[in-house]
Amino acid sequence: MDTKVVVITGASSGIGAALARHLGNSGNSLVLGARRVGRLEKVAEPFGDRAVSVRTDVTRRPDVEGLRDRAMEAFGRVDVWVNNAGRGIFRAPLELTDADVDDMMSVNFKSVLYGMQAIIPHFAERGEGHVINVSSFLGRVPLVTFRSAYNAAKAAVNALTANVRMELGAEHPDVHVSLVMPGVVTTDFHREALGAPEGTSVSSAAGAAQSADEVAERIVDLIAHPVAEIYTNPAGAQLARRYYEDVAAFERNTRG
């Protein structure tokens, strides 16, 4: 893969930090955004002048646009933009509050909208570029009901991604828009979820948990070989196909 300028949101930990390490170790230039500046700077530090860290609250459009502007200032272009920032929740669907839903939509959905609206005009002008939106397997299959507001926000990300890809396809065929759907990943995501009980963990029927590095490796391959969407765990794709073949039967059997 030719070296690229890559912007990653949510880059201070988890999948974002792992992806930054993989791409930085391959000689790419990085613009890393997150709210936790101390952690962010530690991720960027090994790559010297090839990595820029920017305090970014992805729920604020001006912050996302500022991340783009800093990338342009530092490197003169952006080749790949990864909308990775996200946050989970522990709340039964019928107990969700307005604040819960607003938080899930702001962090998981509106941040993706802001990112695409900020960078795609630059890609369209250049005639090339790649947006990668990190969603979740749970945006397709309802296996973890206490994640319902998160799942709904990720389902919205899935739909938005597909619609933007369709809109760009005819006039800008070299501007790629990809969706990444991990399953369970061994990061701090579950412990940092809104309302998470002490010592919590989440298991899934979607195969064994993956490490952040394993997911990052799949995204690196996606950058080299753009496609519309990937499940990082093959079991996720198989379960999604089963779910849509017969929704009622799948849900009945899953409930036991």
What confidence tens digit (pLDDT) does each residue in 155-165 have? 999 999 999 99
Nearest residue to 82 via CA among 43, 123, 130:
130
Decide if 226 contacts 125 (C-beta within 8 A): no
Looking at the chain, the whole-number percentage of residues with pLDDT higher than 90 is: 82
Q: What string of DSSP letters covers 143-192? A: --GGGHHHHHHHHHHHHHHHHHHHHHHTT-TTEEEEEEE---BSSSTTTT
Between 227 and 254, the higher pLDDT residue: 227
- Residues labelled as active-site residues: 150
> What is the band of 200 on the pLDDT scale with cuts at 50, 70, 90?
low
Structure tokens at 147: 């994640």
Cα–Cα distance measured from residue 195 to residue 173, given in angstroms and rounded to the nearest whole number: 42
Residue 35's pLDDT is: 95
Nearest residue to 120 via CA among 52, 58, 167:
167
Residue 193's pLDDT is: 56
Residue 34's pLDDT is: 97
SS3 225: coil
The CATH number of 5-255 is: 3.40.50.720
What is the sign, positive or negative, of the torsion defined by CA atoms of 52, 53, 59, 61? negative
Average pLDDT for residues 202-231, to the nearest whole number? Answer: 87
Residue 203's pLDDT is: 52
What confidence tens digit (pLDDT) does each residue in 63-89 have? 999 999 999 999 999 999 999 999 989
> What is the band of 44 on the pLDDT scale with cuts at 50, 70, 90?
very high
Structure tokens at 96: 């969700």
Decide if 87 contacts 104 (C-beta within 8 A): yes
Cα–Cα distance measured from residue 98 to residue 217, given in angstroms and rounded to the nearest whole number: 37
Cα–Cα distance measured from residue 96 to residue 93, given in angstroms and rounded to the nearest whole number: 6
